[in-house]
Amino acid sequence: MDILTIRDVVSGYGEKMIVKGMSFSVGKGEFLGIIGPNGAGKSTLLKTVSRAIHPKSGNISLDGRDIYNMPLKEFAKSVAFVTQGTVVTFAFTALEIALMGRSPYLRLFQDESRRDIDIVRRALTVTDCVDFINRPIDQLSAGERQRIFIAKALAQEPRLILLDEPTAHLDITHQVGILDLIKRLNRELGLTVIMVLHDLNLASEYCQRLILINDGRIHKMGQPEEVLNYDVIEEVYKTVVVVEKNPVSSKPYILLVSEEERQKLAKRTY
């Protein structure tokens, strides 16, 4: 059964439309990756689904209900959004940041209940944040901060989580750690995940299905094996690649080819 349905959505900023008529559905419990070159419309699409941007036309429904006809607090209880490079201007502790995820359940100036605190502590535990919950957010590493923002999203008790480049600016250890965590939440909690990624190899390894966007439209959609072949990648990204199988997972693995090596290959071919 589908949790999210997008029909003919056109969206952008002012008079400039970035998303140019997209339609697709996301099944409950699915792990969907959105890929594509810079400026293709990936983040704009995610912001539209999160209600940060109102579409110019088209419809987005959550369990059959138009998301723009839902009260904002009700929507926030079902959908959480982890943005790219979230900036916190005050030295809140990690615990205080995570507690903000309970705001859809609280009235104005209402204090968190024992249940709210228990939910937040479970979110902090499952994201491995317990050891630094009392430290100011500006004293944490990039990987630790990202885990806190995911914990905050989980504290909303969502059924659908949207993540925009959750591994941006992280080293490979933290990239794998964050994506392992998201995959575990998807598998163990049945959480539906829609994630924008630039790294095609990470998208191939972790996502069940991929949507490749180019120039605001869906260029290709399907399992990683269907989307990540060399001719599709070269057509969209305008660069030469070699696609092999990961020797461990058998998922597609993309190898880049430098200009120097392309010239050598051209000479040998000639």
pLDDT less than 50: residues of the chain: none
Give tens-digit pLDDT for 31-60. 999 999 999 999 999 999 999 999 999 999
The pLDDT of residue 86 is 65
The pLDDT of residue 263 is 81
Among the listed residues 82, 80, 81, 51, the one whose alpha carbon sits nearest the alpha carbon of residue 67:
51
What is the b/e burial string over 5-32, where b = at least 16 CB atoms within 10 angstroms of the residue's CB? ebeebbbbeeeebbbbebebebeebbbb
State how far Cα 74 lies from the chain centre. 21
The pLDDT of residue 89 is 62
Give tens-digit pLDDT for 221-233. 999 999 999 999 9
Neighbour count for residue 52 (Cβ, 10 Å): 13
Q: What is the DSSP string of 36-59?
A: -STTSSHHHHHHHHTTSS--SEEE
pTM flag (> 0.85): yes
What are the backbone dihedrals phi and psi of residue 222, each rounded to the nearest 5 degrees, phi first?
A: 160, -170
The pLDDT of residue 108 is 81
Both structure tokens of 52: 């940060």
What are the backbone dihedrals phi and psi of residue 187, each rounded to the nearest 5 degrees, phi first?
A: -75, -45
Asked whether the beta carbons of 214 and 19 are under 8 A apart, the reply is no
Angle between helical axes of 114-126 and 142-155 (0-180°, round to 10): 140
- Rounded CA-CA distance 225/251 in Å is 7
